């Protein structure tokens, strides 16, 4: 049992535990906080996989920006909790069965069909340098230039969409 | 375009198509620009067209004198289907050229006469616009008649045969909107229809004969048919008999023989030049020409000759008796024409083709003369009527009724003498043309078919009698109507052609005088009489160069006796106005029959027309309407259709189609939708679950099938 | 040394939990969070493969996914706000007006 493996198992347990916690917390705020923890643990995975840039992005964009946005909305709406009223009694057991099937299929695929046996060592020195970021950036701005530009348009549209959706329209047709 | 198949270049044979084209050109000119030419121009064009054909015919005679064997000139291919090959081919031989001469010669004279006649006729009938139309029709007739006599096959002959039938129809019904007295009526157009339909019966016989020829001989060309006819006659004599009988039906239709003669008296509804040209001189002789042309066929069947000769002889006598009882000047001549056509048909039926043709020619002269003179008389009466005080103009006046005439030799002297010549020629008085030709027929009859001779001799007696009666009634005695007293002589444009015809009527006998036999030698190149040669030779020994003195003497005495009797009855004590006919006093019922045409028209009407109308009515009312429309339509078609549609609608459509196509699928869809409706519960989580089901299923499928 | 399949197993577990969250939670915000969790699970697999195949493509895909996720969150939260305004609830079970 190497240090790597022990660290991996630790982080994996945290990630799974926080995911389950998010799933079962009655309060939406708790769920959001659990999710933040989960994102952070995934960011640690990224670091372990030698992707420090992605890890940083994960922390800033997801754990920072997105989850803050979530919490903000939760606060705004004041809808942390819902009354316990189940209208779909059969939904829950069925969901569990399906999830189990999905999990089995995933494991089956990974272990039997894909059969990936590659080992991942600790990130060495070269990976952490700026060279990796540079070569990644070169790819981004050369090979993936078009998707990158499309992404910018996507963000623009999302911005406009969010503004339009949240804008109040009063009964007289005027704008508030 | 015109090429001769024989080596006769340099002669006039190649001009022969112009006997048809000239009248066609004439009619086209009159048709297109005739309205600008005026009456004289139209008449001149038409007469010139006919005259050109006459000139071409004369040129053919000149060529034939050098090459008596004649020629065949092919103008165009007409019908080529399988074995059937019919070309538009002109046949030039002595027979066809003789006919061309008669048709174009008499035709031209009648054209000229018609210039004067129609000038007045259209004015008396108050429709001057029809003047041009008359000459167009007349030229059409000449063209068709020329095709008839010049065609080289029975089918070409048939084209002309139908063409003259059409022209005849158009001209009989020329005043189609009135009767002969000018009153509004369908009488003239009915007469035209009668002629046309009666001729259809004959044409059907002709067609049957032509089809039989094609069936048995493989062709309708004269030469090809005649080449095989002897062979066929030896093996299948019935073929020859039936062809000749079918041809006889055609002849009876066109040449007005029993039983199809009934149209010719009614055809007098046409203007008088038409009566003279078509219904006396030329078209009606087409049947005689046809038999003469078919001489090689007829001479092979004694039975056929017997039938034809008998039909002709009976017709000759029968029509002559009717002629003696008529009052209309043209009707007398019409029945006379039928009678004389009977003489010709009897002659050609006996195999005396030359005699028949001879009589055809002379008859064309004197009968045209008689008809045209009669036309002159009628117009004279019209003029006289026109000059009467006004009150008389509105009475119904028949200018052709001999009972209105009388004493006209003083008012119309030229016409009288011309009519006299024609009468003597027709009666067969020496030395007029009719004497020679009629005598030749009687001579041949006496030696071949004695019963025909007796019939014809009696007919000749009647001929002289009714002509004498006519002369006495029309020209002698006192005028029985004011119009006759005021009648005026016709202008020169009418009388000059008559004089030409009168000269021909006097001298026409010279064509075939005893001992000289010009016409016989001329026609011998074409018509070779094979039968009765022994008899003819035997007879020639007892006769003076083809003139038997006894036959000639008997017929002359009979004619003179008939004229004398007619003088006793009509000349000695002229008829007074309103007096009944002396014959009627003497014979009563017999004369009543003669007067009423032996009720043949009524009999035909009763036997054929009424039965046909009954049948048509039966077919229309009972079969078509009651049975077909009412019963069959309602009970079978409509009810059957309704039943069928009910079956389709209720059983097939509602029972099967609806159940399978719509009811079951609808039920299934309804059931399914009610069940599946539960899935659409509106809960987004439920939809997500469905999506996951799909994901799991697809992923499972992919994993199980992954290699 | 950690086998790459371990990472993938974690990724599958997280994805399954995310899917489960979408299915069993009624709170629209939590459902949304579960979707984010699923995206993260996918990202983790991307990076793991990127590491295995020694290529940056996987990481770049993560980059794009993050962008899309950000846009999605912006629009999605706007939608939730709009829904809350009209329904005064963010219980997805209340939104059943499409019931057939």
For residue range B290-316, list pLDDT tens digits in order: 999 888 888 888 888 889 999 999 999
Q: Single out the residue of B4, B23, B162 nearest to residue B103, CA to CA.
A: B23
Let me know if A1 is exposed, middle or buried by CB neighbors in 10 A (0-12, 13-18, 19+). Answer: exposed
pLDDT of B693 strictly over 80: yes
Phi, psi of B282 (to 5 degrees): -120, -65
Q: How confident is the model at residue B418 (pLDDT cuts 50, 70, 90)?
A: very high
Q: With an 8 Å Cβ cutoff, are C99 and B680 in contact?
A: yes
Residue C96 falls inside a structural domain:
no
Q: How many CB atoms lie within 10 A of CB A35?
A: 28
Choose the most confident range, by mean pLDDT, from B328-342, B514-528, B625-639, B656-670: B328-342
The rounded distance, in Å, linking the Cα atoms of B704 and B326 is: 120
Q: Closest Cα partner for B239 from B203, B202, B208?
A: B208
**CB-based contacts of A86, cutoff 8 Å, min separation 6:** A92
| Structure confidence at residue A129 as a pLDDT band (50, 70, 90) | low
CATH assignment at residue C12: 1.10.287.3510
In chain A the first and final C-alpha atoms are separated, in Å, by 63
User: Which of the pair, B170 or B513, is modelled with greater confidence?
Assistant: B170
For residue A110, what is the nearest residue in chain B, using CA coordinates? B703
In a domain, C95, yes or no: no
**SS3 labels along A7-34:** HHHHHHHHHHHHHHHHHHCCCHHHHHHH
Q: Quote the CA–CA distance of B706 and B508 in Å, as a whole number.
A: 122
Per the structure block, which two tokens stand in for B42? 């139209």
- pLDDT-derived band at B570 (thresholds 50, 70, 90) equals confident
The SS3 assignment for B3 reads strand
pLDDT of residue B5: 46
Could you tell me which residue, A110 or A37, shows the higher pLDDT?
Answer: A37
Mark residue B16 as left, alpha or beta (left: phi above 0; alpha: psi -120 to 50; beta: remaining): alpha
- Burial of B572: CB neighbours in 10 Å, binned 0-12, 13-18, 19+: exposed
Kindly give the residue spans of alpha helices, DSSP state H, lying in B125-186: 130-150, 154-172
Question: Alpha carbon of B615 to those of B190, B611, B619: distances in Å?
Answer: 21, 6, 6
Q: Considering CB atoms only, which of A39, A119, A162 is closest to C3?
A: A119
pLDDT at position B3: 43
Q: Which residues of A touch C30 (CB under 8 A)?
A: 22, 28, 31
Residue C95 with chain A: CB contacts under 8 Å: none
| Interface list for C 2-41 with A (CB within 8 A) | 2-10, 12-21, 23-27, 29-30, 32-34, 36-37, 40
Residue C43 belongs to domain spanning: 4-90
pLDDT at site C4: 83
Decide: B507 and B432 in contact? Cβ < 8 Å: no
Tell whether ipTM is more than 0.85.
Answer: yes
Query: For residue A169, what are the β-bridge partners?
Result: A175
**Alpha-carbon radius of gyration of chain A:** 21
- Cis-peptide into B105, omega within 30 deg: no
Respond yes or no on whether the N-terminal peptide bond of residue B259 is cis (omega within 30° of 0).
yes
Q: Does B685 touch chain A (CB under 8 A)?
A: yes
- The count of domains in chain C is 1
Sketch out chain A's domains with CATH numbers.
1-81 (1.20.120.1200)
Torsions phi, psi for B141 (to 5 deg): -65, -45
Mean pLDDT of all residues in B409-420: 89
Given a cut of 50, whether residue B658 has pLDDT beyond it is: yes
How far B699 CA lies from chain A's nearest CA (Å)? 7
Residue ranges of A 88-117 with Cβ closer than 8 A to chain C: 88, 91-92, 95-96, 98-99, 102-103, 106-107, 110-111, 114, 116-117
The shortest CB-CB distance from A22 to any of C33, C62, C79 is to C33
Instruction: Calculate what percentage of chain B has a pLDDT beyond 90.
Output: 27
Residues 40-79 of C with CB under 8 A from A: 40, 43-44, 47-48, 50-52, 56-57, 59-60, 62-64, 66-75, 77-79
Sign of CA dihedral C8, C13, C17, C19: positive
Q: How many CB atoms lie within 10 A of CB B151?
A: 27
Residues of A in contact with B693 (CB under 8 A): 98
For chain B, the straight-line distance linking the first and the last C-alpha, in angstroms and rounded, comes to 91
Q: Is residue C98 part of a domain?
A: no
- Give the separation between CA B439 and CA B428, rounded to whole angstroms: 8
Give the range among A3-12, A111-120, B103-112 with minimum mean pLDDT: A111-120
Candidates C1, C10, C43; nearest CB to A119: C1
Residues of C with CB below 8 A from B677's CB?
100
Q: Tell me which residues of chain C have a pLDDT lower than 50.
A: none
Distance, in angstroms, between A175 CA and closest chain C CA?
15
CB B451 within 8 A of CB B306: no
A105 and B685 within 8 Å at the Cβ level: the answer is: no
Is the CB of A131 inside 8 Å of chain C's CB atoms?
no
Most confident of A62-66, B397-401, B508-512: A62-66
The DSSP-derived string for B674-693 is HHHHTT--S-HHHHHHHHHH
Residues in CB range of B287: below 8 A, 6 or more apart: B250, B251, B252, B253, B254, B255, B257, B341, B345
Of A46-55, B166-175, B387-396, give the lowest mean pLDDT range.
B387-396
C97 domain-assigned: no
pLDDT single digits (tens) B503-545: 999 888 888 777 667 777 777 777 765 444 445 545 554 555 5
> Tens of pLDDT along B29-53?
999 988 888 888 999 999 999 999 9
Nearest chain C residue to A72 by CA: give it.
Answer: C77
Residue located via tokens 């087409």:
B286
The answer to whether the CB atoms of B703 and A94 lie below 8 A apart is no
């Amino acid at each position: 049992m190497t240090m790597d493996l022990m660290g991996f198992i630790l982080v994996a347990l945290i990630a799974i535990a926080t995911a389950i916690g998010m799933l079962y917390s009655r309060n939406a705020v708790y769920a959001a906080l659990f999710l933040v923890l989960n994102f952070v643990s995934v960011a640690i995975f990224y670091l372990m996989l030698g992707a420090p840039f992605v890890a940083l992005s994960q922390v800033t964009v997801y754990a920072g920006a997105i989850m803050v946005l979530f919490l903000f909305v939760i606060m705004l709406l004041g809808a942390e909790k819902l009354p316990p009223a189940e209208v779909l009694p059969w939904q829950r057991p069925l969901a569990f069965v399906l999830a189990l099937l999905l999990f089995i299929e995933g494991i089956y695929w990974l272990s039997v069909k894909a059969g990936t046996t590659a080992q991942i060592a600790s990130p060495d020195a070269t990976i952490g340098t700026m060279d990796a970021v540079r070569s990644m950036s070169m790819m981004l701005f050369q090979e993936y230039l078009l998707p990158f530009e499309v992404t910018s348009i996507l963000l623009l549209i999302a911005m406009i969409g969010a503004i339009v959706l949240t804008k109040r329209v009063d009964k007289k047709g005027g704008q508030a | 375009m015109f090429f001769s198949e024989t080596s006769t270049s340099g002669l006039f044979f190649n001009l022969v198509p112009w006997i048809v084209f000239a009248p066609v050109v004439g009619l086209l000119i009159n048709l297109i620009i005739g309205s600008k030419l005026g009456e004289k121009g139209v008449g001149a064009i038409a007469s010139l067209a006919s005259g050109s054909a006459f000139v071409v015919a004369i040129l053919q005679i000149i060529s034939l004198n050098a090459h008596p064997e004649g020629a065949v000139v092919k103008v165009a291919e007409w019908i080529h289907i399988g074995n059937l090959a019919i070309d538009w081919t002109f046949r030039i031989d002595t027979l066809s050229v003789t006919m061309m001469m008669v048709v174009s010669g008499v035709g031209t004279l009648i054209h000229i006469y018609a210039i004067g006649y129609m000038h007045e006729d259209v004015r008396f009938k108050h429709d001057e616009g029809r003047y041009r139309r008359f000459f167009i029709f007349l030229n059409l007739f000449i063209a068709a008649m020329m095709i008839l006599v010049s065609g080289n096959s029975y089918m070409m002959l048939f084209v002309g045969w139908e063409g003259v039938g059409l022209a005849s129809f158009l001209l009989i019904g020329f005043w189609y909107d009135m009767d002969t007295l000018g009153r509004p009526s369908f009488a003239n157009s009915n007469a035209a229809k009668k002629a046309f339909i009666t001729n259809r019966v004959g044409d059907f016989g002709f067609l049957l004969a032509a089809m039989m020829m094609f069936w048995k001989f493989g062709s309708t060309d004269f030469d090809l048919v005649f080449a095989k006819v002897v062979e066929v006659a030896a093996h299948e004599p019935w073929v020859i008999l039936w062809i000749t009988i079918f041809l006889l039906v055609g002849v009876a239709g066109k040449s007005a023989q029993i039983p199809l003669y009934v149209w010719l008296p009614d055809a007098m509804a046409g203007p008088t030049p038409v009566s003279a040209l078509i219904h006396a001189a030329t078209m009606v002789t087409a049947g005689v020409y046809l038999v003469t042309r078919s001489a090689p066929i007829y001479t092979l069947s004694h039975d056929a000759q017997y039938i034809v000769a008998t039909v002709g002889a009976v017709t000759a006598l029968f029509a002559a008796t009717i002629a003696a009882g008529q009052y209309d000047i043209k009707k007398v001549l019409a029945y006379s024409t039928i009678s004389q056509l009977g003489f010709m048909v009897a002659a050609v039926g006996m195999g005396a083709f030359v005699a028949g043709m001879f009589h055809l020619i002379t008859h064309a002269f004197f009968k045209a003369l008689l008809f045209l003179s009669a036309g002159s008389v009628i117009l004279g009466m019209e003029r006289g009527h026109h000059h009467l005080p006004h009150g008389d103009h509105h009475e119904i006046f028949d200018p052709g009724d001999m009972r209105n005439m009388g004493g006209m030799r003083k008012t119309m002297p030229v016409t009288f003498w011309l009519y006299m010549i024609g009468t003597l020629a027709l009666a067969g008085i020496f030395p007029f043309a009719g004497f020679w030709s009629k005598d030749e027929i009687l001579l041949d009859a006496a030696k071949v078919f004695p019963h025909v001779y007796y019939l014809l001799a009696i007919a000749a007696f009647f001929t002289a009698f009714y002509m004498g009666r006519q002369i006495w009634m029309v020209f002698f005695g006192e005028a029985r109507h004011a119009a006759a007293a005021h009648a005026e002589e016709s202008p020169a444009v009418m009388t000059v052609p008559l004089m030409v015809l009168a000269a021909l009527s006097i001298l026409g006998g010279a064509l075939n005088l005893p001992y000289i036999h010009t016409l016989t030698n001329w026609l011998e190149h074409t018509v070779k009489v094979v039968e009765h040669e022994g008899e003819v030779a035997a007879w020639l020994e007892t006769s003076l160069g083809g003139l038997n003195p006894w036959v000639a003497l008997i017929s002359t005495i009979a004619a003179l006796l008939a004229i004398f009797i007619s003088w006793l009855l009509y000349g000695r004590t002229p008829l007074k106005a309103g007096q009944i006919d002396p014959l009627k006093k003497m014979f009563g019922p017999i004369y009543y029959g003669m007067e009423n045409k032996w009720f043949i028209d009524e009999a035909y009407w009763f036997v054929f027309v009424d039965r046909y109308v009954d049948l048509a009515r039966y077919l229309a009312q009972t079969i078509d309407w009651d049975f077909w429309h009412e019963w069959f339509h309602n009970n079978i078609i409509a009810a059957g259709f309704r039943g069928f549609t009910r079956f389709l609608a209720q059983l097939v459509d509602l029972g099967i189609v609806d159940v399978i196509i719509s009811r079951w699928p609808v039920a299934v869809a309804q059931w399914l939708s009610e069940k599946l409706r539960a899935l659409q519960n509106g809960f987004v989580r439920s939809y997500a679950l469905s999506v996951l089901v799909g994901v799991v299923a697809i992923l499972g499928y992919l994993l199980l099938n992954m290699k | 040394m950690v086998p790459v399949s371990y990472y993938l197993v974690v990724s599958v577990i997280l994805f399954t939990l995310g899917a489960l969250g979408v299915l069993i939670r009624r709170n629209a915000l939590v459902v949304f969070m579960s979707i984010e969790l699923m995206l993260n699970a996918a990202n983790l697999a991307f990076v793991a493969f990127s590491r295995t195949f020694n290529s940056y493509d996987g990481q770049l895909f993560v980059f794009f996914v993050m962008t899309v996720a950000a846009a999605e969150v912006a629009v999605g939260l706007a939608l939730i706000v709009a829904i809350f305004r009209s329904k005064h609830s963010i219980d997805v079970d209340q939104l059943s007006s499409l019931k057939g």
